[in-house]
Every structure is written in C-alpha cells, then in structure tokens.
Amino acid sequence: MTETTARIIDGRVHAERLLTRVKTEVARLKTERGLQPGLAVVLVGDDPASQGYVKSKGEQSLAAGMHSVTHRLPADTRQEDLLRLVGELDVDPLIHGILVQLPLPKHLDESAVIAAISPDKDVDGLSVINAGRLVAGLPSLVACTPTGCLILLRETLGDLTGKRAVVVGRSLLVGKPIAQLLLAADCTVTMAHSRTVDLPSVCREADILVAAVGRPRMIRGDWIKPGACVIDVGINRVPFDNPEQAAAGKTKIVGDVHYKEALGVAGWITPAPGGVGPMTVAVLLQNTITAAKRQAGMVA
C-alpha cells in the first residue's frame, strides 16, 4: 500500500475564503457606490453537467448579494437568436458580466458567440482581446479556472519566483492562460501536451505540475517529481472500479492525475473533485466585481 505523503489542497476551503471577500466587496460597493455587480449566465440545451454548473453559479452569485440572471434556452436554439440575446445583455446597464456556458450544441458557433460578448463583460476571459491583453501583460479578465489555479498555488506555496512549472495541456480555456499567469509570476514554464516526446521525463522536471489534458489518470505517480505541487484540473467521468457498479452504468469523477499513485510522491495535490472546481465559481464572481468596477470607472 502506498504511503501518503502529499498534503491535500482543499479547493472548497480556499473558495470559501475568496467568496467571503467577494461578499464583503459586493456589500461595500452597494453601500458606498450604489453599485450592484450583475452577472448573466446563458445555458443552451439540457446537458446535466452544464445544468449543475449553471445552478451553482446562480446560487453563489445570489448568495453574494449580486444581481443574478439565468437564461435557459432549448437545445435547438438558432445562432441568430443566441447572438441577439448576447447583444441585449451586452447593452444592459445592470449586467456587468456575461457567461455563455460551454460546450454549446454542435450546430452553434462557439467562437462567434464568444466574439459577440464585449471584452469588458467577458468574465470567462475567453475573448481574443482578453487573451491578447493577458499575453501583453495588460489588465484583462482572465479565465476563471486558471486564475483559481494560481490562487491555490500562491496560497499554498507563497512566492512562485523561479519555480519550474510544467503545464500539460494547451487549451484556450486552461492550458494557455495558466502558462501565461505562471510566466507573469516569474516561473520558468514548459508547455507540454499528449504528443510531447517523453512526456514523463518532462513532467518530472516540475516543481509545479498543472494537469489539464482531459485524459483520465494520464499522469502517473512516477511522472511526478518528489515533493512537487500538483494541480489537477481534469474532470473526467469514468466507470466505477467495482465491477457490479460499473455493470450498472454507475460512474465517478476522476482527474487527469492518477490520484492514489500521486499521493505517495507529491508534496501537495488537489483532489478531483473538490480541488480546482470550487475555485472556478468563486473566481467568476470575483471577475464580475472587477468588470463592474471598471465599467463604473473605478480602479479594479
């Protein structure tokens, strides 16, 4: 049996800490400036996972004292109708942040929908302009999950200067922005992916290993440098190990890291679920506050 050495990074604890700050700031803005940050979330279709995420976002924003609006559209919604709704929200003075839940049904053009959101209201940080601002080191709204990862790293490790970071995964949603955030934090960053030659050796160089490749348990324990900090962004649904449960069609969520193996090697690790996930919603609310301040001409 593997001896456990890693310390668990409980994302729920860190998220609650951030949500407390969010609630305090929302109350201050309402009292001192008459400003109530407003978030609109758009859900197209009936994907169960997306419904759960949208429900959580709505509940958390209301609990924080924000103005919260959720639009649920049928799966056969036309592109022009979705773009029309986004346009209406874009000019609504009560809405400071717009999030269109991804993935969209296949007949819809995600890139066109994201491009229709004003960069100042793009609280998911996915627009080309916000991505470009991030690369250029300019003020931007940064994707929620990568920002949550950076918060976990800083609150766990403190100063990140000089640390070797390896990011496995190159998506626009996580891999590329977290690499830019780590560079800005003065890490030495390697971008890797599923086609990287001798990926295990590359991973073993990392003081900070961010797994965002979208493959269940791909990162094995012997890929990890002893004492490294492992941030597992993966959310993969797989059958239960128990044959009876698997035969019944029951599934569970696992990360991109083989968690049990990693526990005996890593210094710190995020579980999946319960690690990065809770931070994503908390950062979304923080981004909405930032957007509201900027639109009101305040320093964010």
Q: Which two tokens stand for residue 95?
A: 């809405």
The rounded distance, in Å, linking the Cα atoms of 208 and 225 is: 9
Q: How many CA atoms lie within 13 A of 158 on its CB side?
A: 0
Under a CB-based contact definition with an 8 Å cutoff, are residues 103 and 76 in contact?
no
User: SS3 of 258, please?
Assistant: coil
In contact, 199 and 216? CB cutoff 8 Å: no
What stretch of H or E contains 164? strand 164-168
Catalytic residues, by residue number, are: 57, 101, 124
> Rounded to whole angstroms, what are the CA distances from 88 to 62, 83, 111, 245, 272?
21, 9, 18, 47, 37
User: Going by C-beta distance under 8 Å and a sequence separation of 6 or more, which residues neighbour residue 279?
Assistant: 11, 14, 15, 18, 144, 145, 147, 148, 149, 151, 152
Q: In what order do the strands lie in the sheet with 268-269?
A: 7-8, 268-269, 229-232, 208-211, 164-168, 188-192
